[in-house]
Structure formats: C-alpha cells, structure tokens
Amino acid sequence: MFKLSELVRWLGLTEFEILVNLCGMLTFTIILALKISGTYSNSVIDWFTAFSPLFCIDIFNAYFCVIVGIRMYLDSDNKRKALHRVMWSTYFLVLISIFKYLLCLKLSGQTGLEYSEVFSPIFVLLQLVAIRACQIPNS
C-alpha cells in the first residue's frame, strides 16, 4: 500500500483534496447503489444526478486550487513552482471532469462513443502521473 505522503507527491493533490474526493466518492457510491437497486424510479435519479457529487468535488477542488495557486504565487520566491502546481491541478481536474462527463453521456445513451474513447482522458492522466512519478526524486 502507498503512504499518504507518496500519494500526495505522485498525484499532486493535498491531503484536503484527497479528503474531499473520498467524501464525494462515498456520497456518489450511496446514490449509485440507490439507482442500481431500483429503490427510486429511474426518472428521479438519472446518471447526471448520480454523478452530481463527483462534479461538485471537481468544483470544490478547482476553487481550492485557485486559492492555493494564488497564495503560493504571492507568498513564495519560487514563482515557477506555483505555476507548475496550478498547471498540474488544471490538467488533473480537466481530464477527470471530461471523463466523468463522457461517462455520464455514455451511460445515459446520449452518445455513440465507445468505452475506449470515454476512458481516453484517464489514459492520458495515467501517462502524466507516470511521468510525474519518474521526475520526483526519492525522499
């Protein structure tokens, strides 16, 4: 298993962002279980409603990243590190959001995309994480 410090370095997320993601995933899992079990009719919970906690996570993380990026830029002597953090967070959030949106469209039947096309943002993100993991020195 990975340590929290390793996940923070490799993913470029803070502990707070990881906590927000876990809370949102818990809410999403509960809503998804209700949708799949048929507890509520399909008209009440569509796929976009089921995925709404995940989209809220992205909005909260984007807001948090903007605040952290501005503070890092204003407080630090190393402006390049602040810009690098903002760019990484932007790539991460955009790719994850595109994946969630395409998956909602695919599950609701509104698009004819194949699953390989839906998962392509995740493939790009995995390549970026692998590159980032190779660039970070061991400590």
Burial class (CB within 10 angstroms; exposed 0-12, middle 13-18, buried 19+) of 71: exposed
| Structural tokens at position 43 | 């008209």
| Structural tokens at position 20 | 């927000």
Percent helix, strand, coil in the chain, to 5, is 80, 0, 20
Residue 46: CB atoms within 10 A of its CB come to 14
- pTM for this prediction: 0.84
Q: In tens digits, what is the pLDDT along the chain, a chain of 139 residues? A: 778 888 787 777 888 888 999 999 999 999 999 888 887 766 678 899 999 999 999 999 999 989 988 888 888 777 888 888 889 889 989 999 999 999 999 999 998 999 999 999 999 999 988 888 787 776 5
Instruction: Return the H-helix or E-strand segment holding 81.
Output: helix 79-108
- Does residue 1 sit in helix, strand or coil? coil
